[in-house]
Amino acid sequence: MTIPQDHIRNFSIIAHIDHGKSTLADRIIEQTGLLTAREMQEQILDNMDLERERGITIKAQAVRTIYKAKNGEEYILNLIDTPGHVDFNYEVSRSLAACDGALLVVDAAQGIEAQTLANVYLALDNDLEVIPVINKIDLPSADPDRVIEEIEDVIGLEAHDAPLISAKNGINIDQVLEAIVHKLPAPKGDPEKPLKALIFDSFYDSYRGVVVFFRVMDGRVRKDSRVKLMASGAAYDVVEVGTFGAGQLIPCEELSAGMVGYLTASIKNVKDTRVGDTITEAARPCEEALPGYKKVQSMVFCGMYPADGAKYPDLRDALERLQLNDASLTYEPETSVALGFGFRCGFLGRLHLEIIQERLEREYNLDLVTTAPSVVYKVHTLKGECIDLSNPTNMPDPTLIDYMEEPVVSAEIMVTTEFIGPIMKLCQERRGVYEGTEYIETTRALLKYTLPLNEIIYDFFDALKSRSRGYASLDYSLKGYVRSDLVKLDILINREEVDALSFIVHESTAYERGRKMCERLKEEIPRHLFEIPIQAAIGSKIIARETVKAVRKDVLAKCYGGDITRKKKLLEKQKEGKKRMRQIGNVEVPQKAFMSVLKLDQDD
C-alpha cells in the first residue's frame, strides 16, 4: 500500500515529566485502532521496566499508526517519542528534527514548566509546527483558561482552540487526532533526489545487529541499497527496511522521502550509528549532511566496582552489552586500592548514571559499589600541560598545578514567585552566578543562573524540589569552563587514606563537605572492637573528624533448651555481613558507605 506523502504526519509529543505524554501516546495508539484495548499494556512506548517505574521515557522510540480521519481519508501517523530529561537534550533535539510537527502537552493545573519551554524552543528551532494540547482537564485544580493564556503570552502560540483533553480518561482524544491531520504539515522532500536521512535512534538486536531508526528527508532507501553514514564514513548494504508497529518492526520494500522507519545492515555496534548522523547513498551521496550533528560527550563520571571482586568479568560484559545500545555510555578499566578492579564510566548526566546503575543491578544481577560522581576538570600544570581529570584520585600534586577549571552550565529554573527566595538561596549555596529573572506572568518566574556542573550532579534536583514543594523545574545546558579554586578532599579511615572516597570540591565548601562526609561515614561504618577515627583532609591538613566508638556489648545471653540454631544463624549473619564489607586496613567498611557521598545534603 503506498500512501502519498501528503497523508503522512510525523510528529512528537513535548511535555514536562508527569504532564501526561506517555498516557496521551497510549490513547493515540489505542484510538487509531492499531491495537485493541485488551492488547494495550499501560504505556506502550515505555517498554523498559525501569522507564515504567520511573515514569519517564529514556530512549526515543517510534510507532506508526493508521488513522481514518473524519473526512474519510486514511493517514499514517508516525509518533516519535522523545526522552523527557535534561540529560538527553541532544537526543531530544534529533528526534524533533525528524518530525514536521509536535504536540505540546501542558498540564491544565500546573501550566508551563522550564523543561516544557526548553523543548518548545528546541521544536521551534527545528521549524516544527507546534499544537498546544491542554491535558488533565478533569483535575479539580485544572484552570485551562489560565494555561491557555500562559501559552499565548509566554510562548506566543495560538492556543484558544487547543484541544482540552484528559488522556487518562480518554476525553477529546479525537480532537487531538483531527488537529494532527489538519494542522500539522505533511512532510516535504523529493524522492528522486539522492538519499538524505536523519538517524534519531538505534538499538542493538542480537539477531539483526544494530537497528537504525531514521527519517527520510529526500530520496529513497530500499533493501539491498548500499548506504553511507556521512559522519562516520562507513558504508553498509541494507539488509532490511521497514516501519514501526507497536513494539515490533514491520519490514517493507522501500522507504521514501517523508517516511519514518528503520533499517538493518549487519552493523555490529551502535557506536557506528550515531544519533544525528546522515544516511546517504554510497554511489550517489547528497551534497551536504543534515545540520546539527554532534558527537555526544560524557559529562559525569564515576567509578563502578563489583561488590564481589570475582564478578569483574561479569561487569565488563554487562557494560559492553549496555553500550551496544547506548553510545553515550563510556567506560574504561580502573583500579582502586580500596575497591579493587572496576571501571570509570562516563554518562550524559546524573539521571543517565542512575539508570545505567539500576540496569546493571537489575538486568545483570550485579551488586555494585559506585563512587561519588565527578565532572571533568581541566588541570593546567606549571609545565603548561592541560589534563582532563575525571577521577579525583588522579589529581596531580597541588604544587605542580598552575590553575584548574571546572565546567559550568546555563541553568533555567521555572518557579512560582513564592519560592524565588529559597531557590535563589539554593543557587547561591551551590556557587551559582545570577544571570537574570524573567517573569512569565505575575506568579511565575524563570530564574537564570550559571552553575558549576559539579554542584548539580549530586542532589540539586532533589533540593530544588524540596525547597519549592515540588514546583520548581530545571533545564540546563553546558556553557563552558571557568577557572576555579578547587581542592581534593581525602578521607582517612583509621588513619588510612581511602582513594575511592576522595573527591574534588570548591575550596569554599570543602570544610562543610568534609564534615558531612565524616558524619555520614560514622553512621555507615559499624562499630568495631576498637575505636575508629574518620577524618577529612586537604593534603596533610585535617579539616574534620568523627569517631566510631568501640563496641561495648554484643552478646547473646541465652541459648534455650539446647536450640542453638538461632544462635548459629545470628553468627552466620554476622559473618555474612562481614563478607559484604570492604576491608580497609583492619576496618570493615560497608559497600554502601562508598555511596554515602552522594547523599551529603540529604539532611538539609
Partner 1 sequence: MKKRSLSVYIHLPFCAQKCLYCDFASGPAGKEEIAAYMRLLTKEIRSFEAISSLYRVETVFFGGGTPSFVAPFYISQILNQLRKQYEFSETPEITLEANPGTLDAEKLVTYRKAGVNRLSLGLQSIHESELKLLGRIHSYEDFLESYEMARQAGFTNINVDLMSALPKQTMGKWKKTLETVAALKPEHISAYSLSIEEGTPFYERYGEGRIGRLDLPGEELDRAMYHFTKEYLGSQGYRRYEFSNYAKKGFESRHNMTYWTLGDYVGFGQAAASYLQGRRFSNPAGKEEYPEASRTAYQRFRAMAPQSEKEAMEEYMFLGLRTARGVSREDFQKRFGKPFPKQYEKELLELYRQDLVEQAGGRIWLTDAGIDVSNIILARFLLD
Residue 568 as a binder of partner 1 (CB under 8 A): the answer is yes
Distances (CA, A) of 427 to 285, 444, 604: 49, 17, 14
Q: Phi and psi for 19 in degrees, rounded to 5?
A: -85, -5
CB nearer partner 1, residue 383 or residue 552: 552
Out of 247, 571, 580, 583, point to the residue binding partner 1 (CB under 8 A). 571
- Rounded Cα distance between 518 and 540, Å, is 16
- Rounded Cα distance between 427 and 406, Å, is 17
* Coil, strand or helix at 34: coil
Contacts of partner 1 in 491-530 (CB under 8 A): 529-530
Out of 232, 570, 580, 604, point to the residue binding partner 1 (CB under 8 A). 570
- Rounded Cα distance between 415 and 457, Å, is 20
Shortest Cβ distance from residue 39 to partner 1 (Å)?
45
CB nearer partner 1, residue 182 or residue 567: 567
CB nearer partner 1, residue 72 or residue 561: 561
Shortest Cβ distance from residue 528 to partner 1 (Å)?
8
Residue 572 as a binder of partner 1 (CB under 8 A): the answer is yes
Residue 310 as a binder of partner 1 (CB under 8 A): the answer is no
Written as one letter, the residue type at 361 is: E
- Rounded Cα distance between 330 and 315, Å, is 13
- Rounded Cα distance between 377 and 379, Å, is 6
- Among 391, 389, 347, residue whose Cα is nearest residue 371: 391
Long-range own/partner contacts, residues 66-69 (CB < 8 A, 24 or more apart): 66/32, 66/33, 66/34, 67/32, 67/33, 67/177, 67/180, 67/181, 68/33, 69/177, 69/178, 69/181
Contacts of residue 454, defined as CB under 8 A and 6 or more positions apart, other chains included, come to 374, 375, 406, 407, 504, 505, 506
Residue 557 as a binder of partner 1 (CB under 8 A): the answer is yes
Shortest Cβ distance from residue 550 to partner 1 (Å)?
9
Shortest Cβ distance from residue 520 to partner 1 (Å)?
21
Shortest Cβ distance from residue 553 to partner 1 (Å)?
4
Shortest Cβ distance from residue 491 to partner 1 (Å)?
25
Out of 383, 541, 575, 603, point to the residue binding partner 1 (CB under 8 A). 575
Q: If you write DSSP's letter for every residue of 87-110 in order, what string do you get?
A: GGHHHHHHHHHT-SEEEEEEETTT
Out of 74, 156, 551, 604, point to the residue binding partner 1 (CB under 8 A). 551
Out of 233, 397, 561, 603, point to the residue binding partner 1 (CB under 8 A). 561
Query: Which residue do the cell numbers 539532611 mark?
Result: 603
CB nearer partner 1, residue 310 or residue 556: 556
Instruction: Tell me the window of 13-21, 307-315, 442-450, 560-568 that interacts with partner 1 (CB under 8 A).
Output: 560-568
CB nearer partner 1, residue 1 or residue 556: 556
Shortest Cβ distance from residue 313 to partner 1 (Å)?
22
Query: Which residue do the cell numbers 552553575 mark?
Result: 451
Shortest Cβ distance from residue 587 to partner 1 (Å)?
14
Residue 562 as a binder of partner 1 (CB under 8 A): the answer is yes
Per the CB < 8 A criterion, the answer to whether 404 and 375 are in contact is: no
Instruction: Tell me the window of 170-178, 221-229, 353-361, 558-566 that interacts with partner 1 (CB under 8 A).
Output: 558-566
Instruction: Tell me the window of 17-25, 27-35, 503-511, 566-574 that interacts with partner 1 (CB under 8 A).
Output: 566-574
Distances (CA, A) of 561 to 347, 558, 565: 57, 10, 11
CB nearer partner 1, residue 268 or residue 527: 527
Query: Which residue do the cell numbers 578532599 mark?
Result: 489
- Rounded Cα distance between 94 and 441, Å, is 31
- Among 324, 295, 286, residue whose Cα is nearest residue 209: 324
Instruction: Tell me the window of 186-194, 483-491, 538-546, 548-556 that interacts with partner 1 (CB under 8 A).
Output: 548-556
- Among 363, 316, 324, 309, residue whose Cα is nearest residue 344: 316
CB nearer partner 1, residue 268 or residue 573: 573
CB nearer partner 1, residue 37 or residue 555: 555
Contacts of partner 1 in 122-141 (CB under 8 A): none
Written as one letter, the residue type at 178 is: E
Residue count of the chain: 604
Q: How many CB atoms lie within 10 A of CB 18?
A: 16
Cell of 481: 569552563
* Coil, strand or helix at 141: coil
Out of 382, 402, 564, 580, point to the residue binding partner 1 (CB under 8 A). 564
Residue 382 as a binder of partner 1 (CB under 8 A): the answer is no
CB nearer partner 1, residue 384 or residue 561: 561
Instruction: Tell me the window of 82-90, 218-226, 442-450, 553-561 that interacts with partner 1 (CB under 8 A).
Output: 553-561
Angle in degrees, CA 335, 337, 342, rounded to 5: 30
Instruction: Tell me the window of 322-330, 373-381, 422-430, 551-559 that interacts with partner 1 (CB under 8 A).
Output: 551-559
Residue 555 as a binder of partner 1 (CB under 8 A): the answer is yes
Tell me the sheet residues that pair with 536: 491, 544
Shortest Cβ distance from residue 548 to partner 1 (Å)?
14
Q: How many residues bind partner 1 (CB under 8 A)?
A: 25
Angle in degrees, CA 547, 551, 555, rounded to 5: 165
Query: Which residue do the cell numbers 561479569 mark?
Result: 314
Shortest Cβ distance from residue 591 to partner 1 (Å)?
19
Shortest Cβ distance from residue 552 to partner 1 (Å)?
4
Chain contacts with partner 1 (rule: CB under 8 A): 529-530, 551-565, 567-568, 570-572, 574-575, 578
